[in-house]
Amino acid sequence: MRAKSILIGAGLAAAAALSGCTTGSAFQASPFDYSGITDASYRIPPVPTYKVDRKYLRQIVPYSTAEQPGTIFVDTGAKFLYYVLGDGKAVRYGIGVGKAGFEWHGTAHVAMKREWPDWHAPPQMIVRERRENGRIIPAHLEGGLKNPLGARALYLFNKGGDTGYRLHGTPEWWTIGRAVSAGCIRLMNQDIIDLYNRAEIGAKVIVT
């Protein structure tokens, strides 16, 4: 959408019993948690991971790059986001990406981070949804479980300023691995919280 996190606690990570996928010898399975959590008084429901393609579950994988640890790579074709750890490894997350005609590629940086952010619909989105789908969408939604930006949002800026694109959460876990959004990169709420806690303001983001 064009309007368009370290784990929530080390305890959650230690207690996680779910293993990520192993689609071949190139990947190292790593346990991460997708259970229900309470965050800022909101109860985020668990993700039924047995219904999610295991390759899209958060896991540590081999990843070689000349970029510094803390860099974020978004592979829109494969539907993966990588957070570079260094030493040839990264945390990989499954993502949902923009539908045809709404894609964005380039280099940006994380300029802002928000917990349970408000969402503001661009005027063109309001017009487009009314014209093409007969839907009347609100111009503004306060943060919460039904907010399109989910539990967290990272705002991407480049030399021209705000790109209008976000890395954000979603309660719609079934859309991960698909081209469904109006441009923004969506992660499951448990994953965006993990990424949010890892990523620093100013982090480089490369979208391909």
Do the domain assignments include residue 5? no
Any idea what the CATH number is for the domain that residue 136 is in?
2.40.440.10
Do the domain assignments include residue 96? yes
pLDDT of residue 195: 98
168 is catalytic: yes
Cα 75 from Cα 121, distance rounded (Å): 25
Cα 204 from Cα 140, distance rounded (Å): 29
140 is catalytic: no
pLDDT of residue 184: 86
Selected catalytic residue, list 21, 105, 109, 184: 184
Do the domain assignments include residue 124? yes
SS3 195: helix
Cα 36 from Cα 27, distance rounded (Å): 26
Q: Tell me: the pLDDT tens digits for 140-191?
A: 467 688 888 999 999 999 999 999 899 999 999 999 999 987 668 999 999 9
**pLDDT value at 72 more than 90:** yes
Do the domain assignments include residue 3? no
**pLDDT value at 196 more than 50:** yes
pLDDT of residue 7: 35
**Count of structural domains within the chain:** 1
Do the domain assignments include residue 68? yes
Do the domain assignments include residue 4? no
Asked whether the beta carbons of 173 and 47 are under 8 A apart, the reply is: yes
pTM beyond 0.85, yes or no: no
Answer with the residue of higher pLDDT: 32 or 157: 157
Q: Domain span at residue 140?
A: 10-207
Q: Tell me: the pLDDT tens digits for 77-97?
A: 999 999 999 999 999 999 999
Answer with the residue of higher pLDDT: 130 or 141: 141
Do the domain assignments include residue 120? yes
Instruction: Classify strands 185-188 and 161-170 as parallel, antiparallel or unpaired.
Output: parallel
Do the domain assignments include residue 36? yes
Asked whether the beta carbons of 9 and 193 are under 8 A apart, the reply is: no
